[in-house]
Each structure stands twice: as structure tokens, then as C-alpha cells.
Structure 1
Amino acid sequence: MATPNHSESPSFQQQGRLLCHCEGHCPPPALSEGLPNNTCLARVGAKCFSAVEEVYDLEAGRLVAERTYGCLPPDHMSGLLQCQGHLVPHLNPTSIACCADENYCNRHLQPTYTPTPLHEAQRRRRCTPAGFWHGPDHVFGLFVILIALAFLRYKKREDKRQKYMLTARSDPDGFTHSHPGTLNDLIEQSSGSGSGLPLLVQRTIAKQIQMERSIGKGRYGEVWLAKWRGENVAVKVFFTTDEASWFRETEIYQTVLMRHENILGFIAADIKGTGGWTQMLLITDYYENGSLYDFLAHNTLDVEQMLRICHSALCGICHLHTEIHGTRGKPAIAHRDIKTRNILVKLDGTCVIADFGLAVRYDSEKNEIDIGAPNPRVGTIRYMAPEGLDQSLNTSLFSSFLHADMYSVGLMLWEVGRRTMTGEKRMVCDESQLPYYDFVNPDPSFDEMLNAVCSKQIRPALPHRWQTSPALSGLSKVMVECWHGTPSARLSSLRVKKTLTNLLMNELPPASIKMI
């Protein structure tokens, strides 16, 4: 089919600007409005390009060539350097060709590269789900035993992968509604360390996602609903000015043994973009109920639902706070920004903890606190503990961060309690509100919160109706101890989790009690 020529159309007559074919490096929809599909408009003095890179193909189980097309920035903005990029050594073999002859001239460019040698490709396979370890032959007997164990483990994973691939091929539309665990299957084939997928696989997934619609915006980025092979995923796109937060959150998700049923499931992270735009992506599980804040605004709860939400949230926080010792143990982690907007609700009514851009890690063996790169974010002022507001928090003690988390937990429990129905003849509840809504402005300043929380020592009011419910009465006692003015007097996440477990088991009928 002949390439369409839009150069004669008035809307595309831009002096010195080319129309280029784009694939894999197309600009966001807002920057390509009015252009044909798979087309980008180069800037003045810029060229079209075609690039080829060697990537790992999950289905084929081998390294393959992936071709991309798009527009480069002008020569004075590093376009010339990018056209020579293949002359610089890269982790993966790559090559690029540029042209400026005519519109869509890059359609016919076919740059080539030198494939990775066989021995190097085999070494890289160790980083993929389908690979297995080829250890050094120090002691022949031990070597044979280790290879046998590795092969058995590899065979089990390969059987799962083949089953998954067969299922995917049997669905002509690429959807797998009847088998919703395909991403889970892929994660199960990874190292088993609980630290996420191999980086090469993450990059492959990031390139294959299809953005659908924006589902939320914040000060630090935008969240999109996207699809990967028919499965819904959430993609958090960070602003370029908040690279530190993207890097920190990705780093925390890659922590060994981080995966937990009440921690937002991490899938992949990648940086995409050419020229004047860059996208820093964080791909996670998607939950259609959204944040706990939105869920409470549109739903009321019975006592059992309230306890399930609170208990599951504390299970996630307790997992974060707990250090797991071992050869590859998990450090203790403080969240530092716990609030209902950073907790997501699953379809089964339980919760997961999200947003780790401010998290702090602690290694007790080395007695080191890992705060990460300098970041201007200090958490959400409304949920900030008194010692954070008056700047008396001791950052040299990791326990100080845990105590501050528990203050925020108390406020979160208060928000959930307000939406819980009570009463005998007529069930009632309170409207959804943020903590201190009746004492400070909707967007409070630092000084406002300092005056209310520290100077006046105000805490959220506990409705009298809560005393008529044993569960809410017990929950109110937990809140009071969590937002205590003295940090060391606050309950630990484990103590709160155990209290909520007891309240939940007392509320459930005997026939439905399971291991909690």
C-alpha cells in the first residue's frame, strides 16, 4: 500500500518540519492530535529515525530484534548525537538510522546490528523466568547435584509457562478473562525472592502495555488504566520533576520479600521517551474500587466490612514494619505517608497499601537507616504526627518513623469508623470527612496543623454512637492510643493487628471463621 502523503494538506504544511512514521516511540495523544495514526510531526531541523534493539521475547524464549520508529529532536538538541548512538556501547546490541529526505522516509530504513554471541545470550537467560543457573564446576559431585535441582525447578516453571502460552494463543482476541492469573503465573516463574520480575522482563512488559484512560491525577503524576495481554493494570506516570520519588518507589518495590497480599502488587517499572518528552512508568495491579478515600465517600459499611478493611490494612502495614531475618531477609520499612488515598480496596473488601515514594528502610545488622535520595516531600500535612509538625522527630532512630506511621494509622481508622453503620431500629452513620475537617481549612497550611495538633492538642472527635457497638468501641480505644502525643506510648502495628484480629473473630459467625 502506498504511503499517504500529507505534505500537501494545509494542516501539515509546516516550514522545515517532517512527518515521520512512529512505532514504539509515538508521542502522547495530546501531542499528536490531528495527525494520522502512527505519525509524529518532527520539530524544525529534526530528522526521522528507525532503530533496532535486541530484547528478550517472553513467548519465544530467546533474544529477538525489536524495531521502533519516530521523530528525533533537532541536531542542536542532541538529535545528531542520537543518530550516532549506535557507536556507543550499550547493554543490549542496538543500531539507529536517520533521514530527512521526505515525509515518512524512515519507513524504509532497516538498520542492522551484530547479534549477541551464543555464550553471552545464554548468560543473559539466567535473568529470565525461562533460564536456569549454570554454576561453576568447582566440585564435580556438587555441580551435578545443583544442576539436577536447578533443572527440576526449571522444568516446573517451563511447564507453567507453556501452559500459560497455550492458553494465551487459544484466545484469538488476546484476552484471558477465564484465566485472570497470567501475570501472577509470570511472577511465580521469577526468582521466588519476592523482589519482583527480572529487569529485562519488566522492560518488555512496559513496552507492550496499551494505555486506555486516565483514572486519577495528583501533585506528583497521573494514574492510567491500561492493558497488558488483556489484563487490566494500573500505570502511574510520574512527572519528570519527581524522578526521585519514582526511583525510590521502584527501589522499595524491588526489596526482597516485599510481596504480600496486602501490599500493592508491583509488576514493572521503566523510563520511556525520546526528544522533548519522557515518561517514568510504574506498573502495578489494578483495583476498580479505587482508593479507600473514594470508597468511603460512596459507600457505607457494616461492622464486619469495617473490620475487614481495617484488619487487612494493618496486615499490610505490619508486614512493612517487620524485619525478616535470613540469608536474604527483608529490612523493616516505614511508609511515612499513610492515608486513605494511599490505600486501595480490592473487590473482596480487603485493602492493599500503596505509594512508597517516601518509605524508609532499616537494616538492624548494619544499624543503617536508608532514607533514599533527598526528596522535598515530607508526607501529607493533615496526617503528619505531632513530632513531625514541631520538627522534634529523631531521624537517627528508625523507631521514630514507625511511631509516626502509627499516628497516621489512628487517623485512617477514624475515617473508616465514621462510615460504619450502627443502630437498632434505624441504622445511621456519619458523612465521609478528613481528619480535623472541623478545625482546619480543606487544604491546611503547616502552621494551621501545628497549632491544632501540637499547641491545642486537638484530636478527632469520637461519636457517642460508637459506644453502642463493641467493635467500634474497641476500635476507638485503638485510635486514642495510636494518636497519643508521646510517640513511644503509641501501639505498634503488630499490637493493633492482633486487636483487630480478635475483634473480627468475635464479629464473625462461628461457621465462617477462617485462619486470619
Structure 2
Amino acid sequence: MTSEIPRKGLLMLLVALGLTKGGVVKASRDRLVNCTCDSPHCKKPTCQGAWCTVVLVREQGGQPQVSRGCGNMNQELCLGRPTEFFNHHCCYRSFCNHNVSLVLEATQTPSEEPGNTYLPLILGPVLALLVLVALGALGLWHVRRKQEKQQGLHSDLGESSLILKASEQGDSMLGDFLDSDCTTGSGSGLPFLVQRTVARQVALVECVGFIASDMTSRNSSTQLWLITHYHEHGSLYDFLQRQTLEPQLALRLAVSAACGLAHLHVEIFGTQGKPAIAHRDLKSRNVLVKSNLQCCIADLGLAVMHSQGSDYLDIGNNPRVGTKRYMAPEVLDEQIRTDCFESYKWTDVWAFGLVLWEIARRTIINGIVEDYRPPFYDMVPNDPSFEDMKKVVCVDQQTPTIPNRLAADPVLSGLAQMMRECWYPNPSARLTALRIKKTLQKLSHNPEKPKVIH
């Protein structure tokens, strides 16, 4: 299983996840108070909220730490009684939390009543978890997915999904962390301390499919576990780094990936049906290679769904999402029709053409094969900016160079022509996923079992 945490990544996780700023629930602005704000998430020494908070927490074996900030939701957290692990105070006047001092309950001794001996052991971790969530903010960040949109994601996609809720303090940097890392495609993930900060602000609401999920605490940090199908070859990106391909294996990978994309794009009616789905972050890192050397598409954290019955699109507030290296020109120049579901399918097709290019480069023809390179590797930096990609794709109207050697093989020449038809500047002129699937299946006339060349 691969993960680029960030907007994916947790999108595969948080991802598969679907966590968008469009789902933020803001507190009422009718009566806000100014508060002292000195938690690690405060960007300024003050914040605004429905009330002011002071929280005193001591993690296992550590020293007590106090944090001051603002509260907006979950006022019942203000009612908790102090324990040896935490104390919490709420007040409702401006800067009323500035000079408040809190103390922790003394650790119980064996001489105390037997009935209360285990009470802190039971309540402590539970209440500490609630406080950690409150530290992240006390304003809820909730993404709603209608029940019918949670059904029908075919298990062959090899992907699992969670609906998550996160807390956001008025000046929390959680959104900044996600925005800055999720679309680079670097795959580096977040620093460990940031991961711990994010984990403390996320709580499981509901599991909507596939195998299993769990929440645990390790090293004083909350961890969310998402258990999905295991594919030993990892992502297509990883697979192409390690392996060279014969033409028939290249075609097998391409056909199976095209079948997955066509399945996503089509709406299936009936009791076992599914809405039409556009991926919006298709790339080789989000395509997994199964043990039978077939591909499946993963990480639906940025996916948008559409049903003819409701004619509803859930895209959040930012249509400019995905991995910049794989963005279609209409996304880069912000000309995409955000109210048209077909527009998002066309961006998937553009990205699929780039995945085909990655496969073709690693295919042996007449004893010649090239090292793995990402799309546009010779035109933009390793971690290209939005402006880098916009200049190359929109201004210069460049596409990846298709090697001339592909013309020597009927399978690879077919893939080369398909790439060109996926990269038309006019989105509506591009191939459909169904046409890609059928064309690739016609190329699969050789029944020889594909092999991996080491």
C-alpha cells in the first residue's frame, strides 16, 4: 500500500479520505471574545472564539504543560473534573484566560478507597484524548458524504476510505500543513512532529468500506490505522523504478489500469450500482500493482462523484487540486468548468496519458530501455511549482517527448498514439476512458504470459 500523506496521502488515508476546506464548520460570530493564545498552533498571541480556554496536560512521565487558546464548539469539554493527567478551564470574557493557574490532582495511593483505585487509569487516557482533540481547536472540521455516495466503490480498486473529523483552533496551522505538502508529489510525507500534531487533531467518525480500521496510541500520540488490500509490488511508480518490461507486460499493466479508470468513470444503476467517479489525482504513485501483475487504482481522497439522479457535484472550494506534475492545462490555467462533471473525467484522461508514457519508457524494444523518469522531468524541477507547470503546459504547450523507438513495436506504437489523443489541448477532444479500455484490449491479441525482466 502506498501513501503520500498529505492531501492524499492522509487522502489515501485522509484520502481516500476526502478532507476539504469546504467542510469546515465555523463557530458563530455573534459574540466572540478575545483570548490569550500561546499553544504550539498559535500564529499570534491572541485569538477569537466563543470562549477562552486554559488546558493543563501531563503526558505519561512528562512535566505538566499549559496552553491557552479559544473555544468554538464542544462546550461539554469545559465540564470535565481535574485528574492527575489534565485540568481544563473555560471563561467567557476577553482575556479572562490570561492569568488563570491550574493544578493537577495528586496521584492516588493504595490507602485510598479500593473502588476508586482504577478510575484514573480508565478515565485518564479517554479524557486526555478528548483534551488533545480540544487542543487542536474546538471548531469542527467535518466532511459529509451522503450515504448513497459511500456505496459501490468496487473492491478491485484496492482502496479503503474513512470519514474523518478534525478539530481546528482559530489560528491552527493544520490546514497550512495539508495545503503545503499535499500536491507536491514528492512522497516525502510530513515531519514526525507534524505527524503527531495532525494525529492529535483527527478522530474517527465512521468507516465506510473495505477491510478494517482502528485507532491507537503510541509514543503519546494518537494513530489512525487503515487496513487495505496488500499488493506486494507496491505502486506502479515503485514497480517501474525496479523493473523493466516486455511489451506484453506493459500492455497488461496499461489495460488493467484503463479498466479501473473506466469503472470509476461510469455510473452503474441498480441496487448494486455506483455513482460516476472522477479521480482528480491520477498518477503512477496512486496505481498499485497486484501479485498477478495487474494494476488497480487507489487513493480516492480527492475524488468527485456524480449521479444523474441528483445531478450533485461535491468538489469543495478548490478545483485546483491534485499533483501539479499531472495537472491538465485547463486546471493549470484555471479554465476548467467546475460545474461540469465531464470536465473532471477529461483531466483524468490527461493524467492517464502521462502514466502510459511512464510505462512505455520502461519497456524494452530491440534491447533498448530507458531509466525511469517522471513526466516532464527534462522541463521542470524535481518538485515543480504551479507556475513551473503552467508555463510548460499552458504557455509553451509542451507534452512529454515520446521516444522514436516505440514505433518499432505494434503494441508500443499503439500506446504512443493513445498518449497523443489523451493530451489534446481541447479537453472534450480527448479519448474517453471506455475508448482507451477497448482500444488497449484490442491490442492484447498475444496470449503469451507477461514476464518481469530483472
In the alignment, the residues of structure 1 paired with residue 276 and residue 434 of structure 2 have an alpha-carbon distance, to the nearest angstrom, of: 13
Which residue of the partner structure matches residue 401 of structure 2? Answer: 461
Which residue of the partner structure matches residue 173 of structure 2? Answer: none
**Secondary structure of 2:281's match?**
coil
In the alignment, the residues of structure 2 paired with residue 329 and residue 430 of structure 1 have an alpha-carbon distance, to the nearest angstrom, of: 42
**Secondary structure of 2:261's match?**
helix
1:109 paired with 2:127, answer no
Contact 2:319 2:338 in 1 (8 A): no
Deviations 1:355-388 (A, max 9, x none): 111110101111111225x579711000000000
Which residue of the partner structure matches residue 294 of structure 1? Answer: 238
1:508 paired with 2:447, answer yes
Selected match of 1:475 from 406, 415, 424: 415
Which residue of the partner structure matches residue 20 of structure 1? Answer: none
Pairwise CA distance, 1:483? 1.1
Selected match of 1:75 from 68, 83, 87: 87
Pairwise CA distance, 1:75? 1.7
Aligned pairs for 1:403-442 within 5 A: 403-423=346-366, 427-442=367-382
Which residue of the partner structure matches residue 280 of structure 2? Answer: 336
In the alignment, the residues of structure 2 paired with residue 398 and residue 323 of structure 1 have an alpha-carbon distance, to the nearest angstrom, of: 12
Contact 2:286 2:299 in 1 (8 A): yes
Pairwise CA distance, 1:389? 0.3
Which residue of the partner structure matches residue 401 of structure 1? Answer: 344
* TM-score normalised per structure 2: 0.58
In the alignment, the residues of structure 1 paired with residue 199 and residue 327 of structure 2 have an alpha-carbon distance, to the nearest angstrom, of: 21
Deviations 1:314-349 (A, max 9, x none): 111111111011145311011000011111111211
Deviations 1:415-456 (A, max 9, x none): 000000011xxx111110011111111111111111111111
Selected match of 2:60 from 41, 51, 59: 41
RMSD: 4.1
Pairwise CA distance, 1:351? 1.1
Of structures 1 and 2, the larger Rg is shown by 1
- Where structure 2 has 5 or more consecutive residues not aligned to the other structure, the ranges are 1-58, 66-82, 91-104, 123-150, 156-160, 163-185
Contact 1:313 1:353 in 2 (8 A): yes
In the alignment, the residues of structure 1 paired with residue 424 and residue 117 of structure 2 have an alpha-carbon distance, to the nearest angstrom, of: 69
Which residue of the partner structure matches residue 358 of structure 1? Answer: 302
The count of corresponding residues between Structure 1 and Structure 2 is 302
**Secondary structure of 2:211's match?**
strand
Contact 2:200 2:221 in 1 (8 A): no
In the alignment, the residues of structure 2 paired with residue 442 and residue 350 of structure 1 have an alpha-carbon distance, to the nearest angstrom, of: 28
In the alignment, the residues of structure 2 paired with residue 246 and residue 379 of structure 1 have an alpha-carbon distance, to the nearest angstrom, of: 24
Deviations 1:187-244 (A, max 9, x none): xxxxx97688xxxxx99xxxxxxxxxxxxx9465699xxxxxxxxxxxxx97764999
**Secondary structure of 2:302's match?**
coil
Pairwise CA distance, 1:414? 0.2
* TM-score normalised per structure 1: 0.51
**Secondary structure of 2:244's match?**
coil
Pairwise CA distance, 1:269? 3.3
In the alignment, the residues of structure 2 paired with residue 375 and residue 271 of structure 1 have an alpha-carbon distance, to the nearest angstrom, of: 30
In the alignment, the residues of structure 2 paired with residue 442 and residue 99 of structure 1 have an alpha-carbon distance, to the nearest angstrom, of: 55
- Where structure 1 has 5 or more consecutive residues not aligned to the other structure, the ranges are 1-39, 47-70, 79-97, 114-191, 197-201, 204-216, 224-236, 255-265
1:307 paired with 2:307, answer no
In the alignment, the residues of structure 2 paired with residue 243 and residue 370 of structure 1 have an alpha-carbon distance, to the nearest angstrom, of: 27
Aligned pairs for 1:63-462 within 5 A: 73-76=85-88, 100-101=107-108, 109=118, 218=187, 241=198, 254=209, 266-273=210-217, 277-327=221-271, 329-371=273-315, 374=317, 378-423=321-366, 427-462=367-402
Contact 1:413 1:479 in 2 (8 A): yes
In the alignment, the residues of structure 2 paired with residue 416 and residue 493 of structure 1 have an alpha-carbon distance, to the nearest angstrom, of: 17
Change (3 A) 1:411 1:77: farther
In the alignment, the residues of structure 2 paired with residue 389 and residue 289 of structure 1 have an alpha-carbon distance, to the nearest angstrom, of: 32
Contact 1:291 1:341 in 2 (8 A): yes
In the alignment, the residues of structure 1 paired with residue 200 and residue 60 of structure 2 have an alpha-carbon distance, to the nearest angstrom, of: 27
**Secondary structure of 1:472's match?**
helix
Higher helix residue share: 1
In the alignment, the residues of structure 2 paired with residue 239 and residue 376 of structure 1 have an alpha-carbon distance, to the nearest angstrom, of: 29
Contact 2:215 2:222 in 1 (8 A): yes
Deviations 1:72-111 (A, max 9, x none): 8422389xxxxxxxxxxxxxxxxxxx982259x9996279
In the alignment, the residues of structure 2 paired with residue 42 and residue 414 of structure 1 have an alpha-carbon distance, to the nearest angstrom, of: 54
Change (3 A) 1:244 1:314: farther
In the alignment, the residues of structure 2 paired with residue 102 and residue 241 of structure 1 have an alpha-carbon distance, to the nearest angstrom, of: 35
In the alignment, the residues of structure 2 paired with residue 414 and residue 243 of structure 1 have an alpha-carbon distance, to the nearest angstrom, of: 40
Pairwise CA distance, 1:508? 2.1
Pairwise CA distance, 1:288? 2.1
Match for 2:304: what amino acid? V
In the alignment, the residues of structure 1 paired with residue 323 and residue 297 of structure 2 have an alpha-carbon distance, to the nearest angstrom, of: 16
Change (3 A) 1:465 1:77: farther
**Secondary structure of 1:41's match?**
coil
The percentage of aligned residue pairs carrying the same residue is 42
Deviations 1:257-295 (A, max 9, x none): xxxxxxxxx312344459973323322112221111111
